[in-house]
Structure formats: C-alpha cells, structure tokens
Structure 1
Amino acid sequence: MLAKILSSAVIGIDAYLVEVEIDISLGLPVFTTVGLPEASVKESRERVKSAINNSGYTFPDDRITVNLAPANIKKEGTGFDLPIALGILAATGLFQQELISDYLVLGELSLDGRIKPVTGSLSMAIAARDAGYKGILIPDDNINEASVVKGIEVLPVKNLPQVVNYLQGFNKIEPAVTDIESIFAHVNRSGNDFAEVMGQEHVKRAMEVAAAGGHNLIMIGPPGSGKTMLAKRIPTILPPLTFDEAIETTKIFSVTGMLEQEQALVTERPFRTPHHTMSDAGLIGGGHIPRPGEVSLAHNGVLFLDELPEFKKHVLEVLRQPMEDLKVTISRAASTLTYPASFMLVAAMNPCPCGYLSDPKHECRCTYQQIRRYRSKISGPLMDRIDIHVDVPAVPYKDLMQDSMAETSEKIRKRVTKARDLQSERLKRTKIYCNAQMSSRHIKKYCKIDNKCSALLETAIDKLGLSARAYNRVLKIARTIADLARETDIRVDHISEAIQYRSLDRGNVKYT
C-alpha cells in the first residue's frame, strides 16, 4: 500500500516542501530510503522501527521503500522521522491518509516514541503557510518559534501515540498561539548602557553617527581605553528590530540550532564577537554541510572584531564581499547557497604593536617598520569599506571619578531612530535603507553641498592629506550628521565633523 506525508527541509535559511512517499509491498523485510538521503536520514529507519514498536504499534515485516521527493536535492537532518513513521502507519491502515493530507509534519523520534525538536521549524512553518496548507505538526519544543507565523494552525505534539490518537479522532490538539506584541513589549535588554561610560564623549558621538547611518566603524586606541566596553553598547542605541527583521534574524538562528527553546523570536539586534583565531569558513559560512557564519549570525545587528590586525589576513579579506553585497554566497559542487549578511561592522585595534603610539603617559618602542607592518595587515580595500575612524585615548582620572551620569542609551536611540526614519523616507524608492549603503549615484542626488562646504573639503584633501576615497565617505557621514540634526541641507559644521572621523586617511601621521 502507498502513503504520502508532506514534510519539509531547509536549504540556506529557507525551507522547501518534501513529499515523503512510503510503499509497503510483499517481500523480504527490507527498509530502503531513496531520494538523496544523507547519513542521519538513512539512520531514521532504526529510530522509526523502535519508536513504532515501543509505542504499541506493529511494524510491518514487509518490503518498505521510502522516497523523499524532489529526489534531486540532498536531504539532511532528523526531521523526517515522524513523517516516515506516520506514513508507515497510514500505509498499514491505522488511520486514513486524507486526515493528514492538509498538514506538514516534522519531528525527530526517540526510541520510545517521544518527539524531539528539529532545527529550522520557523522556516518550515512559513513554507507551509505560503504553500496554502492548513497546518503544521511540530515538536512541542519548537512551538514558540513556529507559532509566530500567522495564517496557519501550529499543532504541538509530544509523542507518536498522541499524533496517532489525534488522527484517529480520539483526542484533540489545540493550535498554539503567540502574542507578537507582548514579545516585543518585553524585550530583554542586555543591561549595558552608555550612561555607565565615563568620558569618551567624542567616541560616543561617533558611535551615535555610525548607528544613525549604518556606518562601519573602527576604533584606534591603547589597551584599557574602553574600546570593547563601548562596542558592546552599540546595539543599545540601534533602532529596534522590526517584525520582518526579527523573522529573518530568527530564521538564521533557527536553522543553526542556536535559538533557545523558550525564545519565540530574536527581538534584540545580534552582537557577534568572533575570536581572532576564527577560520574563514567560521566567519563567512561554509563547511561540508554549509552553515551560516558569523557574518550571517550578525545579520541586522553588529559584528565586532576586536584586535582587528590579529585576524589572519585572508580571513579579513573574505569580509569584503558581504560588506558590499549584504549577503554571502557559498558555492559547492551540488548547490549554491545564499545567506543574508547585512551587518554593521565595528572593529577595534591598537595604534601600534605595543599599543602606546601617541600615548602621552607611555613610551612607544615600536619602530616605523613594525608599525607599518602592523597596520598593513588591514588591506586598503577592506579599510575603504569602513566609513568612520575614531581615536580612543586613555580616560583621564577626573572623568573616571565624576559623579554625574552620562546620557542614557535610550535617549541616544531616540535620536538615532528619528534619523533612520528620515533616511527610510528619503530612500524609500531605492533598494537601500540607510546612508552607509548609498552609491555614487545616490551621493550626487542626496549629498549636495554649497561652495563653502566644497572649499572646506578641498582644503581637507590638500592640507590633511585625505585620500580620494575619503571624499564620498565624508559626504555620507555629513549626510548622517545632518539627519541627526534634522537638517535638510549639509552645512559646513557637518562637513567639519565628518572630516574628523577619517583619522586613518590623514597623510601626515607620524611614527615615533
């Protein structure tokens, strides 16, 4: 007898539908799985057989053939256990197949029939809804993330007998419902706040500008000046995640299995801090079974690279494509996967190998060649994609001991959000959403300057030795500063402040 159960699998961060076809025919007891199954899918026959027997049902002693269609895509994961088990029971006549024809089914089986969670259930629920199916049967542990999808019944199941009894009409499973508004209303903040940072007002201002325009930023300063502490607080001033951004971010964490069981959505912008020993595959994604890397896990959030020159040079170079395209494409012989990677890069580095170049209280003993070699680890094309360079000096004692609290992150976030709203309105007819993503065409249209601003820029390029590539960067930063001030036109003071954020482009840097 033939039975067909609908299931799903993930490719990239999106799911596709898989038809699980089970044929039971007379012959020697053989269990065969076809349709390009990988090892964990082939092993499902042992889990399915034990789960059926230990749940009180009879496993047929006949020839069983399982086909996973489409057969030209490799199937991975353990989510096919439950649909295979239900297909076998339907083929033996335990329940009518039509009862489950409108539902997508997924779940891993333990040997005693319990249903374990799977990765990617959010993407699968979206795929089932988009395909017009009535509902989805998922493990109870996956209920939080899948139930945020509206327009489809999400039925949580705990064990195989519960599913069979439901299909036989002996019990009822109530669809799970999640209140999206309550999730966003109770966002669990990390606890970091800019009010805790003493001094460094110019650095905090640079971070506000970077957050308002989505600009990449690099901090240069001696050890202990607070670069890491400042970077950890950047997510607290970024605009809150929208629902669509939260869904896309959650899908990435879901397919990698990094979403917590009690967590329905990722409601805070990610902050990823990979170690400098990380490989290029760990940073960009890949592997034998391709998985998203740190740049994708930082999607819609912040990727913080501390001690930037300590990263291997070839690892840093792979950042160039996602920083430009806002996505990562991983090619393999069998397939090509694309992961989103729209992140804000924040980097930190010492000014020299010892860290004390230009520090008034510590003597730098690095030679010119050592400093040049240290800074050359960061290539020009990569540095060209970082808009804001800011020096972070050591904090004076009087700033550390001040009693008054600094401005809170919430106040800064309100200004940043208003600036982003202006950019969204200005760029609504384009495919970009912040000033940092503007191309030369957009800069000419939205960053027009008068003669005074032009004269100041010309002086900066001639006197300070700013590179030609800094010209467009200064204009984009000035546009963001004007947006923070809610000014329609770019003024001279906006240009002047923007020039200060290009310290590494200055040709008159002296080494001691």
Structure 2
Amino acid sequence: MGHARTHAVALLGLTGALVEVEADISGQLPGMILIGLPDTALSEAKQRVRAAAKNSGCSLTRNLLTINLSPAALPKHGSGFDLAIALACLAADGVVAPASVSSVVHIGELALDGRLRPTRGMLPAVLAASRAGYTTVMVPAGNADEAALVPGMRVIAVTSLRDAAIWHGAQLQPIPVDAMLLPVESVPDAEEPDLADVVGNDDAILALQIAAAGGHHVFMIGPPGAGKTMLAARLPGLLPDLDAEASLEVSSLRSLNGQRVGASLIVRPPLESPHHTATAAAMVGGGSGLIRPGAAARASHGVLFLDEAPEFQSAVLDALRQPLESGVITIHRANGTAQFPARFQLVMAANPCPCGQFGAADHDCTCPPSARRRYLARISGPLLDRIDIQLTVSRITAAHLRLAEAEPRVTSAMVRARVVDARATAAERLTGTPWSLNSHVPGPWLRGPHARLGGATTAPIDRALELGGITMRGYDRVLRLAWTIADLEGVSRPGAEQVGQALYLRKGRTS
C-alpha cells in the first residue's frame, strides 16, 4: 500500500491557490473516493482518470484509492485537476517516481483515451504556481505557448497521460499522439480602425484625444448616423501599448475566457461592446459554480463601449458605479469571493430621445418633452456624475463634408504619440504617488497644496458648484480634465482657458 502527492491549481476569479493532491492505496476492495470539496465536474474525474489510465497502458490499482484535495475548505472547480489526480494515483502504486511527481505542478483535463485537453485559465494558473515558489509545471501541449509566457517557469508540454507517466519514470514505450487544441475557438485580433476615417466632428475628435490622454470616461449623445459608434471604436487605437503588468492581466482574462492567447502577451488595449440585452452577470461577471469575468472585467485596461445606453437595464448600468470608482469588481458567492480588475474607460452613446431625431436639423422629433426626459433618465444621475466628458455629437452636413475633405486629417498614430507624451508628463508630475493617470487622482490631492489652482483660474467651476450646476464629484472631475488638457497642450499648469474647456466638456451635452 502506498501514498503519494503532487500539486495542482484552483482558480477563483484571477486568483490561483495551490492545491495538494494526495493519493493513498488501502484495503482490498476496489473503488476510488475523491474528497476535498470538489464540484460536480471535478467529482467526475474518477471515471475520466480510471478510463484514461487504462487506455494509456498503465491501469490504476484495483485496491481502494482515496484522493484528497487540500486545503479541504477551498472550493475546487472544473476538470483541470485530472492530470494531477492520475499521476498521484500512479505514484502511489509505484508506476511512476513519487519524488518526481511531487516536485511538479500538474494542470490538465484528461480525455477517456488518455489524451490531454487544453484547459481554460492556464496563464493565471501557471502564474499562481510561480508565485507559490514552483519552477516546473506540466501542461497539455495545446497550452504550452501560453504557459511559457510566465517568466522563470519550466514548462513540460505533454500530449497524453502516457507521455506524462514516461516523463516521470514509467517503463512504457512512447506512442505519438496529436496535440488537442483549445475546445473554444479563438477570436482573431481585428485591425484597429483609424481616426482618419472620421470626417468632421472636430469637438468629438478632440474629446477623444483628451479622454485617451487622461483615461477619462465619455458620454456621447446625438441622433442616429452622427458617428458615435465610429468614434468609440477608434478610442482603443489612441491608447498606448499595455505595460508588462497590464498585458499580463489582459492576457490572463482572455485565457480565463477560453480564448487562445498564443506565444506572446496581448499588448493592445481591448474593446468590449456588450449588447443592450446583457444581464448584470454578463456585464460584471458571475456564475453559480466557476465564476467567469464579465464584459467590464474583460475591458480592463481598455474600453467598455455601451451603445444605446438607455436601452440597458437600469440595474446593469448601476452595477458599473462601484467598479468605476474602485477599479475592481468583487463577486461574492456562498462558497467564495472572486475579484477581477476593472480599470477600464467607459464610453456610452445614446440617442437624444426615443425616436432619435431631437435636435437634428433635417428631421422633426415626434417625442413629447416628458418622453425625452424619461428616456435619458434611464441612465441614473449617480452614474452620469462619474462620466468626465459629456458632449453632443451632430450629424455632418454636405457643407461640413466638403470643408472636412479639404483639410488634412489626424491619424490614430499621430494622436497616440501625443497621448504617450501627455501621459508621460502626468506620470512625472505624479511621481511618488500611487497614481499615474489624471483620471485616477482623488479630489483632495487636486485641491491640496500639491496641485491647487488659483481662485481666478477656478472661478468658472466655483460658480457652477455654487449654483448647483455640478456636484463636488463633478468639480473634481473638471479639475482632472483641466490637468489632462494642460498635459496635451504642453503647459505646466492649467489656466482659466483649460478649466473653461474642461467645464464645457463636462457640461457640453444637451437634453
């Protein structure tokens, strides 16, 4: 009778915890017992492991096998424990070397014929193993490129349980097996659209540049055909490449979502555009068992675009209020709490009324004033108060089109260079603080001795605050915008002109 142990990884959100997988052979009666708070998919590992071992030429013992997943109180989900369970059982029976198995973290799902299926969330799982001090991990060949993205980790890629057992010392002859690919088809990266495609709407183009430079949220209101969706789709192209930490988070979220990451980390900011029928769980994440990231989490370090924002359920929109402030989504379930990053830029677009023609010069609006108010009131005041830039986008006329075509257009590459310079200026000014973007700086710091502006400079927003035109949160957001405009223009501190422009961008929409 023998005993052996190895390790696997349990994911809760993006957080991974190392799990010790113990196998013990005892008694004379056949059977397999799996303990340690497994979910249904993990409980079914008993049948998968026994069939995979038999078809790999290394059948499990007929004596009673007890497999313990420790810590026992930690919830464990999914089928990624199959490889660790199988090798622990084989090590307890002496088929493979127990010392070899105990020094490696094993992650992967077994098919009944012994092949290894790629597993979702491989990148955050291997990252968790690395942070726990392990330097060697065995994964399915279909996940090898993704696992190799973790620095300092030795990755052993195997196509089958037979290959894994041979690597750990089993006396078997290798049998070539084709590697299995991810069961979820990957989505190809689309080419980023260029800002040069936008004709006219100079105010909106400038607002996008300011939003990109400072990481500010945007709300655009205008009739259908004004170009709101076209503008929003070009905001990610204005953002700089992701740094190493952000790239690792975005790639980990993509892996957790079941998309292929490939041999290199994702370096461009993502764009998520959920449909207006999305539920709160689809927006922020959830699930009764394994908690998956929602659109807001997948948009982290990128852009979350909500087209036809008033058509979203109010509860779905209001679920974004807390992530907009904290940059983190926390999902509580009875068996655990998962956290996802949520430092995204929110871009919302809306028609001015149900028919969409209010304010359009070429069409008459058929909506009464009460209907217009009710329509826009679907977006709550507290959510709108968190949006830095609020502007009206108008349709382009033929005269505007002829004028715009005669002028040189700004490209996304040109704007991105300006945005990189502006962000570098802000980061230098904020050296020694926890922030690097103007949109992240809290109000007390902006109004404190480090960044306080003179009374003559802030007079317009002081009056707006006194008259109730803006709230205290809105006051601070105007200051953030003013600093971003100053960074873009290359001036050391905002003046009255920058503060006035920021106030216009804050209050520039009509309803």
Scaled by the length of structure 2, the TM-score of the pair is: 0.91
RMSD (Å) for aligned C-alpha atoms: 2.2
Alignment-derived partner of residue 432 in structure 1: 435
Cα distance in 2 for residues equivalent to 1:47 and 1:80: 11
Q: Distance in 1 between matches of 2:53 and 2:140?
A: 17
TM superposition shift of 1:492 = 2.1
Counterpart residue number, 1:418: 421
Q: 1:222 to 1:439 in 2, by over 3 A?
A: same
Match of 1:494 in 2: 498
Change (3 A) 1:451 1:140: same
1:470 aligned residue (468, 474, 480): 474
The 8 Å contact of residues 107 and 115 in structure 1, kept in 2 or not, is answered as yes
CA distance in 1, matches of 2:53, 2:251: 33
Is contact 2:75-2:336 (8 Å) kept?
no
Q: Does 1:406 align with 2:412?
A: no
State the match for 2:484 in structure 1: 480
Q: Residues 121 and 254 of structure 1 are in contact (CA less than 8 Å); yes or no, is this contact kept in structure 2? A: yes
The alpha-carbon deviation at position 405 of structure 1 amounts to 5.2
CA deviation after TM superposition for structure 1 residue 262, in Å? 3.2
Partner of 1:57: 58
Residue 230 of structure 1: aligned partner: 231
Q: Judge conservation of contact 1:29–1:61 (CA < 8 Å) in 2.
A: yes
Does 2:219 align with 1:215?
no
CA distance in 2, matches of 1:422, 1:57: 63
Q: What is the rounded CA distance, in whole Å, between the counterparts of 1:121 and 1:472 in structure 2?
A: 41
Matched, 1:253 2:257: no
C-alpha contact 2:5 2:101 (8 A) present in aligned 1: no
Residue of structure 2 in register with 1:339 after alignment? 340
Three-state SS of the structure 1 residue aligned to 2:483 is helix
1:355 positional shift: 1.4
Counterpart CA distance in 1 for 2:461 and 2:13 is 45
Question: Of 433, 436, 441, which aligns to 2:444?
Answer: 441
Q: Deviations over 1:4-38 (max 9, x none)?
A: 11111111202111111111123221111000111
One-letter amino acid matched to 1:422 = T
The amino acid across from 2:280 in the alignment is D
User: In the alignment, is residue 454 of structure 1 matched against residue 455 of structure 2?
Assistant: no
Q: For the Cα contact (< 8 Å) 1:195–1:405, is it kept in 2?
A: no
Give, in whole Å, the separation in 1 of the partners of 2:285 and 2:88: 35
- Structure 1 unaligned segments of length 5 or more: list them: 173-186
Letter in 1 for 2:103: D
Q: Check 1:404–1:486 CA distance in 2 against 1; reply closer, same or farther (3 A cut).
A: closer
Tell me the SS of whatever aligns to 1:496. Answer: helix
Match of 2:182 in 1: none
1:258-306: CA deviation from partner (whole Å, max 9, x where unpaired): x215354222211000111111111111220222111111111111011
- 1:348-373 residue CA offsets vs partner (Å, 9 max, x unmatched): 01112211222121111211111111
The structural deviation recorded for 1:111 is: 1.1
2-structure distance, mates of 1:292, 1:189: 21
**For residue 438 of structure 1, what is the amino acid of its counterpart?**
V
In 2: Cα distance, 1:275 partner to 1:79 partner: 31
Take 2:127 and 2:452, find their aligned partners in 1: how far apart are those partners?
43
Equivalents in 2 of 1:444, 1:261: separation in Å?
Answer: 43
Corresponding residue of 1:320: 321
Q: Is the 8 A contact 1:136 1:152 kept in 2?
A: yes
Q: Distance in 2 between matches of 1:334 and 1:56?
A: 38
> Is the CA contact (8 Å cut-off) linking 1:447 and 1:475 kept in structure 2?
no
CA distance in 1, matches of 2:315, 2:100: 55
CA contact (8 A) 1:447 1:479 kept: no
In structure 2, distance between residues paired with 1:393 and 1:50: 65
Q: Give the distance between the partners of 2:491 and 2:213, measured in 1 at CA.
A: 14
Question: 2:335 is paired with a residue of what secondary structure?
Answer: coil
> Sequence identity of aligned pairs in percent?
39
How big is the shift at 1:465?
Answer: 4.7
Contact 1:357 1:364 in 2 (8 A): yes
Question: How far is the alpha carbon of 1:73 from its aligned partner?
Answer: 1.0
Q: Indicate whether 1:8 and 2:9 are aligned.
A: yes
State the distance in 2 between where 1:279 and 1:330 align. 15
Q: Does 1:166 align with 2:167?
A: yes
Deviation of the 1:460 alpha carbon: 5.7
Task: Kindly indicate whether residue 199 of structure 2 is the aligned counterpart of residue 195 of structure 1.
Answer: no
Matched pairs, number: 492
Instruction: Tell me, yes or no, if the aligned pair for 2:302 and 2:344 is still in contact at 8 Å.
Output: yes
Q: Shift in Å at residue 400 of structure 1?
A: 3.9
- The 2-side partners of 1:21 and 1:409 are apart by 55
CA contact (8 A) 2:192 2:234 kept: no
Between the aligned partners of 1:429 and 1:189, the Cα distance in structure 2 is 38
Partner of 2:184: none
Which whole-Å CA distance do the structure 2 matches of 1:457 and 1:317 have between them? 27
Could you say if the C-alpha distance between residues 63 and 458 of structure 1 is closer, same or farther in structure 2, counting changes exceeding 3 Å?
A: closer
Task: Give, in angstroms, the shift of residue 478 of structure 1.
Answer: 0.8
Partner amino acid, structure 2, of 1:279:
T
- The amino acid that maps onto 2:488 is L
C-alpha deviation, 1:464, in angstroms: 11
Q: Aligned partners of 2:107, 2:468: CA distance in 1, in Å? A: 62
Task: State the AA in 1 paired with 2:10.
Answer: A
- Cα distance, 1:408–1:33 mapped onto 2, change above 3 Å: same
Contact 2:4 2:102 in 1 (8 A): no
User: Does the residue aligned with 2:193 lie in a helix, a strand or coil?
Assistant: coil
Q: Secondary structure at the match of 1:502?
A: helix
Evaluate the alpha carbon distance shift between residue 360 and residue 503 of structure 1 in structure 2; reply closer, same or farther with a 3 A threshold. farther
From the superposition, tell whether residues 79 and 365 of structure 1 become closer, same or farther in structure 2 (CA, over 3 Å).
Answer: same
Query: Aligned equivalents of 2:467 and 2:322: distance in 1?
Result: 33
What secondary structure is seen at the aligned counterpart in 1 of 2:347?
A: strand
Partner deviation per Cα, 1:428-462 (whole Å, 9 max, x = no partner):
32222211122221211354333442334456668
Structure 1, residues 201-232: CA drift from partner, whole Å, max 9, x if none?
11010010011111110001100111001101
**Is the partner of 2:365 in helix, strand or coil?**
coil
Conservation of the 8 A alpha-carbon contact between 1:447 and 1:490: no
Say if 2:392 and 2:508, in contact at 8 Å, map to a contact too. no
| SS of structure 1 residue aligned to 2:277 | coil
Paired residue secondary structure (2:134): coil
- Per-residue CA deviation, residues 181-219 of structure 1 (Å, 9 max, x unaligned), is xxxxxx966230001111111101001001111111000
The CA distance in 1 between the partners of 2:250 and 2:241, in whole Å, is 13
Whole-Å Cα distance in 1 between the matches of residues 507 and 447 of structure 2?
24
The CA distance in 1 between the partners of 2:155 and 2:29, in whole Å, is: 39
How many Å apart are 1:94 and its aligned residue? 1.4
CA distance in 1, matches of 2:101, 2:135: 10
Given residue 408 of structure 1, which amino acid in structure 2 is its aligned partner?
T
